[in-house]
Amino acid sequence: MAFFVEDGPVYDSSAFTECKAYPEEALYNGGGILHDHAANVELGHRPFHGDSYTTDFSLHNLSRGIFTFSAWITIMGADSSLIRAGLTADSTMSDCIGTVLAKQGCWSFLKGGFILNSPSNLSLLYFQNADGKEINMSIANPSLQRFTDEQWRLNQQFRINEERKRFVTLHVSDLLGERLDGAAITVQQTSREFPIGSAIADTIIGNLPYQNWFLKRFNAAVFENELKWYTTEPQPWKTNYTAADQMLEFTRANQITVRGHNIFWEDPKYTPAWVLNLTGPKLRSAVDAQIRV
């Protein structure tokens, strides 16, 4: 079912991690775009031969905006396979817009999205078998919903009003419990219920102005590069967590929640150069050591 704010749909935050016997209904009643713009919408079995692609939707004349995409996926021919949805707009480089570990015998929910900063004459929405397995894939109840910038801001404000605000009744009395009429009340926020964070770099170590500026505004942090593999182990078997440890000392001392980094990155440019030259048992040994750190 689709719900609407004053000028557009409400963002549907539904997510399903379990594999279901039957696919759920399409979000936003399908969103309308796939049927309005797509030239190929016959949803049946898709054979994959190795690390291959299949184009399922040819989308014409898309306007700029923020798009949410979802679909239900099941496979045959393997117990599981990583399925990646991607988008190519006007022959530009393709972007990953969602992934799911699809399974055989049940339906998995793929959900993601993308942003078009300018109109697109022709966009191709495709699926990739990222594991390179010989499988057949079926798609059910896909949805593509567009939001304008203003609609997205309205959704943000709607969520804030619905989930982050509460009505409070204050009863003001004197020491004898007598009601005080016309009392002036000052409200001061002393802590944040929701994490509001920022990236920080090792330049925050010992930098009091930077630390004070950060602490006045945020209660959560993510390190920019200090926990990434190419920083902690630039040379084989020589790990160095000095900067990361000092940054953790600062965040823990100030009750700052810290989010870590991926243990591994798919993109080679985020992998230590020496790892790219490893194969077989040596590569597995390096990967296992990184997991255990």
Complete domains list, the chain, with CATH: 4-151 (2.60.120.1310), 197-292 (no CATH)
Q: What's the token pair of residue 133? A: 């397995």
State residue 273's pLDDT score: 92
The one-digit pLDDT tens for each residue of the chain (293 residues) are 444 555 678 899 888 989 999 999 999 999 888 765 543 333 445 555 445 556 678 889 999 999 999 999 999 888 998 999 999 998 777 788 999 999 999 999 999 999 999 999 999 898 888 777 788 888 999 999 999 999 999 998 888 888 888 888 888 998 998 999 888 888 887 777 788 999 999 999 999 999 999 999 999 999 999 999 999 999 999 999 999 999 999 999 999 999 988 888 877 888 999 999 999 999 999 999 988 87
* Burial track 34-56 (b if 16+ CB lie within 10 A, e otherwise): beebbeeeebeebebeeeebeeb
State residue 114's pLDDT score: 94
Cβ neighbours of residue 109 closer than 8 Å, sequence gap 6 or more: 15, 16, 17, 20, 24, 70, 72, 73, 100
Q: What's the token pair of residue 52? A: 């291959």
Q: Which strand (E) or helix (H) includes residue 53?
A: strand 53-62
